[in-house]
Amino acid sequence: MEWVLRNLSTPKNHRGLSSLTHKKMASINPQPRMGVRPNQPLPSWGDGMPSKGVASKAAGSKPTPKVASGVRKHQQARSVSAALHAAIERSRVEEEKRRAAEKNAEKRVRRFRNKPPQSFYPIYQRATSQRFFVLDRIRCGTEDCPEEKFELAGSTGNVYKVHIGRRPECNCPHAFAGNQCKHLLYVMSRVLRAKFNLVYQLALLSSELREILDKAPRWPSAQGSTSDEQRDHNRKPVEGDCPICFEELAAATDAAKNTVNSEQLVWCRAACGQNMHRQCFQIWSATKRQHDGGSSPVTCPLCRSVWEGEADDSVVKNLKKDGPLNRNGYVNVADQLGISPVRDYSTYSLWWGRERYPSRSGRRGHH
DSSP string, 154-219: -TTSBEEEEEESSS-EE-SHHHHTT---HHHHHIIIIIS---HHHHT-SS--HHHHHHHHHHSPPP
pLDDT at 165: 95
pLDDT at 127: 92
Q: Is it the case that residue 344 has pLDDT exceeding 50?
A: yes
pLDDT at 9: 54
Q: Tell me the chain's radius of gyration from C-alpha atoms.
A: 50
Task: Give 223-235 pLDDT, tens digit per residue.
Answer: 444 444 555 677 8
Strand 159-164 to 146-153 pairing: antiparallel
pTM over the 0.75 mark = no
| 226-250 mean pLDDT | 72
Q: Is it the case that residue 359 has pLDDT exceeding 50?
A: no
In the chain, what percentage of residues exceed pLDDT 70? Answer: 60
The neighbour count for residue 286, using CB atoms within 10 Å, is: 18
Confidence tier at 3 by pLDDT (50, 70, 90): low
Which residues are CB-contacts of 215 (< 8 A; sequence separation ≥ 6)? 193
Assess contact for 264 and 273: CB atoms under 8 A: no
| 147-163 mean pLDDT | 90
Structural domain spans, the chain: 107-220+316-367, 228-310
Torsion angle, CA of 54/58/60/66, rounded to 10 degrees?
A: -40
Task: Give 44-95 pLDDT, tens digit per residue.
Answer: 555 555 555 554 444 455 667 766 777 777 788 888 888 888 888 888 888 8
As its CATH architecture, domain 228-310 has 2-Layer Sandwich (3.30)
| 227-245 mean pLDDT | 72
Task: Give 192-233 pLDDT, tens digit per residue.
Answer: 999 999 999 999 999 999 999 999 887 654 444 444 455 567
Higher pLDDT, 34 or 312: 34
| 145-169 mean pLDDT | 92
Task: Give 249-302 pLDDT, tens digit per residue.
Answer: 876 555 444 433 456 888 888 888 888 888 888 877 777 766 666 566 778 888
User: Which H or E element spans position 123?
Assistant: helix 120-129
Q: Is it the case that residue 319 has pLDDT exceeding 90?
A: no
Assess contact for 188 and 198: CB atoms under 8 A: yes
Cα–Cα distances in angstroms (integers) from residue 351 to residues 134, 190, 348, in the given order: 30, 28, 8
pLDDT at 45: 53
| 24-41 mean pLDDT | 57
